[in-house]
Amino acid sequence: MNASVLWLAYWKARTCLECAESSASLVLRATRSSVGTRTSVTKGCWIVAAVLKGFPRAFQEQSVLRVGELRLFGVHSKELGVELLFDGPTDPDPAKQNEIIENWIALGVDAIAAACENKEGISTALRKAKKKGIKVLTYDSDANPDARDFFVNQATPEGIGNTLMDEASRLCDDSGEFAIITASLTAANMNEWQKYIEARRSSKHPNMKMVALRPCDDLKDKAQSEATALLSANPNIKLIMAICSPAVPGAAEAVKQAGKTGTVKVIGLGLPSENRKYVKDGVTQSVILWKTIDLGYLTIQATAALAKGELKPGATTYKAGRLGEMQIKGDNILLGQPFVFNKDNIDQFNF
């Protein structure tokens, strides 16, 4: 049986090589279609809906857009017998994720993959989907475990937290004040990372002191404003750690404009392309991330396999196309360890 995979993305309006629809949605497929108006599914086909967070993080955009630019969706269509589509609103309201999931339940999809804006809020809708016999996979940011079958984990929260904290300590000679800028105080994945950042700090770097945590709503300009306020309120601060993509260049710009390049270090989770200038200018010391293209690829592969019954609970490994054999720990499909981009290697990467 041929499988038709529907990739529903909560997407910021944007134009790319193969993506152009209305300000509210983007559709990527061999022949364009508006998913939002779709009221039926193709008989005899598997339908898989994959949901990103509202007001998507830049690394998520790159994860999907670069796959599109490289025409890997076309490859998936041939390899897996799938059809890939995007659609979705542009704002970060968690309730809108629930609305879209409700629509997909009514549509009769076979599987849903979701990057969760609010862990508790989306879990209710995902549980409803499971009760209807729909397979559920989460990625990037998890739901409650009972609301899904698998979680595609770009890197373990412990690995991310440890890498961030170790890098911060290294740059500060293992002593000094630092602050964290996050996207929101409710983002499930970032709260989990913060838990492990603090655990690593207390156990391995007790002379490092976190003096503030500020949300930036995933906006570069607000991150810059928050970083400027942090610099003013904390004259002894040695490092700003940004754990959402827009916050890294936002914090860097604040440090640069304050004339504190090199004095106050900047690190965070983000894309090399968005931070290259700041890294090469010595404003940002390290950018940490996973390989975003691989995250999108693995999610598509795993979602299609889950829909078709090829990936089942209890599995310990999964062969994900060009990525090869991936390890599964419990119900987590593991992509790998975080990678540190710095002045020495950042020009080797173009995403």
Q: Please, which pLDDT band fits residue 61 given cuts at 50, 70 and 90?
A: very low
Residue corresponding to tokens 């809020």: 121
Structure tokens at 166: 């170790």
35-154+291-335 matches 157-289 in fold? yes
Structure tokens at 214: 């500020």
Give the span between the Cα atoms of 57 and 351, in whole angstroms.
Answer: 14
Give the span between the Cα atoms of 183 and 190, in whole angstroms.
Answer: 8
Q: What pLDDT, on a 0 to 100 scale, did the predictor assign at position 82?
A: 58
Q: What pLDDT, on a 0 to 100 scale, did the predictor assign at position 323?
A: 87
Q: With 70 as the cut, is the pLDDT of residue 285 above it? A: yes
Taking a C-beta distance cutoff of 8 angstroms, is the pair 268, 288 a contact? yes
Strand-strand pairing, 135-139 and 150-153: parallel
3-class SS at 273? Answer: helix
Q: With 70 as the cut, is the pLDDT of residue 26 above it? A: no
Give the span between the Cα atoms of 257 and 239, in whole angstroms.
Answer: 15
Percent of the chain with pLDDT over 90: 51
Q: What pTM value is reported for the model?
A: 0.64
Q: What pLDDT, on a 0 to 100 scale, did the predictor assign at position 168?
A: 98
Q: What is the mean pLDDT of the chain?
A: 78
Sorted by where each begins, the domain ranges of the chain are 35-154+291-335, 157-289
The residue-averaged pLDDT of 219-237 equals 97
DSSP class per residue in 182-251: ES-SS-HHHHHHHHHHHHHHHHH-TTEEEEEEEE-TT-HHHHHHHHHHHHHH-TTEEEEEE-STTHHHHH
Q: With 70 as the cut, is the pLDDT of residue 71 above it? A: no
Out of 16-25, 97-106, 133-142, least confident range: 16-25
Q: With 60 as the cut, is the pLDDT of residue 113 above it? A: yes
pLDDT digit string, tens, across residues 236-257: 999 999 999 999 999 999 999 9
Q: With 60 as the cut, is the pLDDT of residue 25 above it? A: no
Taking a C-beta distance cutoff of 8 angstroms, is the pair 182, 160 a contact? no
Give the span between the Cα atoms of 221 and 304, in whole angstroms.
Answer: 38
The residue-averaged pLDDT of 297-317 equals 89
CA dihedral (163, 164, 170, 174) positive or negative: negative
3-class secondary structure per residue, 3-60: ECCECCCCCCCCCCCCCCCCCCCCCCCCCCCCHHHCCCCCCCCECEEEECCCCCCHHH
Q: 259 vs 74, which has greater pLDDT?
A: 259
Q: What pLDDT, on a 0 to 100 scale, did the predictor assign at position 83?
A: 55
Q: With 60 as the cut, is the pLDDT of residue 101 above it? A: yes
HSE-up of residue 135 (Cα within 13 Å, Cβ side):
21
The residue-averaged pLDDT of 251-269 equals 98
Q: Please, which pLDDT band fits residue 51 given cuts at 50, 70 and 90?
A: low
pLDDT digit string, tens, across residues 202-225: 999 999 999 999 999 999 999 999
Q: 222 vs 13, which has greater pLDDT?
A: 222
Out of 45-49, 58-62, 164-168, least confident range: 58-62
Give me the CATH code for the 35-154+291-335 domain, please. 3.40.50.2300
Q: What pLDDT, on a 0 to 100 scale, did the predictor assign at position 81?
A: 64
Q: With 70 as the cut, is the pLDDT of residue 268 above it? A: yes
Give the span between the Cα atoms of 240 and 242, in whole angstroms.
Answer: 6
Q: What pLDDT, on a 0 to 100 scale, did the predictor assign at position 161?
A: 95
Q: 88 vs 14, which has greater pLDDT?
A: 88
Residue corresponding to tokens 């630019």: 69
Taking a C-beta distance cutoff of 8 angstroms, is the pair 287, 343 a contact? no
Q: What angle do CA 69, 148, 125 make, to 5 degrees?
A: 90
Taking a C-beta distance cutoff of 8 angstroms, is the pair 81, 3 a contact? yes
Q: What pLDDT, on a 0 to 100 scale, did the predictor assign at position 80?
A: 67
HSE-up of residue 205 (Cα within 13 Å, Cβ side):
27
Q: 8 vs 339, which has greater pLDDT?
A: 339
Structure tokens at 316: 């310990």
Q: What pLDDT, on a 0 to 100 scale, did the predictor assign at position 84?
A: 57
Give me the CATH code for the 157-289 domain, please. 3.40.50.2300
